[in-house]
A = this chain, B = another copy of it.
């Protein structure tokens, strides 16, 4: 395992690899929180991979199966850099992911799609929501961690595939729109409920949002604004699919 220098990163265009650790990590609480966050994102991507691969079975055509398989694979490919960084920070990646297995599995168990369109909508809406949330949190972190997270959330490039397929289905039979709109609301509700449980159980993550050494934080007003942005983006994605939110 790589040893972590306690000094500030000598950042700049010619500086070394991402194993440099910036000043914020002098706060051991911050380090624990970042490990928690990276563990959550990594396991989130593993479980998204599993569910997308599972939902690919519902595909009406081979081309659809291929598209969903591709989304699953892209999610999975994000995992390795995240767990490498966790190891660089001196933690055991499997242990770092462990606390998040139950909430993510619970989310997926409670939102198992019963048909292809529900699976597609979940991939689009769920992935978008998770990305938005991690991006919001990443804004409060050191630059290396932020860059790693933003890269790991890079769009799978298949959003347009999902939008097209769902819009086609609604155009072909308008009756699918009502149940899908309800489904979107349920996804949002379950995601918030699991996220709340995670933050309540992991003090480190709550502290992360409050700020710390060399880092800004969020007060309750800012937290409320962040929540508004998340729900607004969710509504935009539902509208993009041609659905009420």
Q: Does A63 contact B (CB under 8 A)?
A: yes
Residues of B within 8 A of A98 (CB): 62
Cβ < 8 Å to B, chain A residues 24-62: 43, 46, 49-50, 53-54, 56-57, 61-62
A73 touches B77 (CB 8 A): yes
Q: How many residues of A contact B (CB 8 A)?
A: 25
Contact of A54 (CB < 8 Å), options: B54, B63, B83, B94: B54
Q: Which residues of B contact A49 (CB under 8 A)?
A: 53, 69, 73
A124 at the interface (CB under 8 A from B): no
A63 CA to B93 CA, complexed, in Å: 9
- Interface assignment of A153: CB less than 8 Å from any CB of chain B: no
> Is A65 in contact with chain B by the CB < 8 A criterion?
yes
Check B53 against A72 for contact (C-beta < 8 Å). yes
How far is it, in angstroms, between the C-alpha of A70 and the C-alpha of B94 when the chains are bound? 15
Q: How far is the CB of A54 from chain B (nearest CB, A)?
A: 7
**Given the contacts A46-B69, A76-B70, A94 and B57 also touching, CB distance less than 8 Å:** no
Closest Cβ neighbor of A79 among chain B residues: B66
Residues of the B chain whose Cβ atoms lie less than 8 Å from the Cβ of A65? 46
Question: Does A6 sit at the interface, judged by CB under 8 A?
Answer: no
- Taken together as a complex, chains A and B put the C-alpha atoms of A54 and B52 apart, in Å, by 11
Known: A46-B66, A54-B54. 8 other contacts (CB 8 A): A46-B62, A46-B65, A50-B56, A53-B54, A62-B101, A63-B94, A66-B94, A72-B76
29 A-B pairs in the complex with CB atoms less than 8 angstroms apart: A43-B62, A46-B62, A46-B65, A46-B66, A46-B69, A49-B53, A49-B69, A49-B73, A50-B53, A50-B56, A50-B57, A50-B69, A53-B53, A53-B54, A54-B54, A61-B94, A62-B94, A62-B97, A62-B98, A62-B101, A63-B94, A66-B83, A66-B94, A69-B76, A69-B79, A70-B76, A72-B76, A73-B73, A73-B77
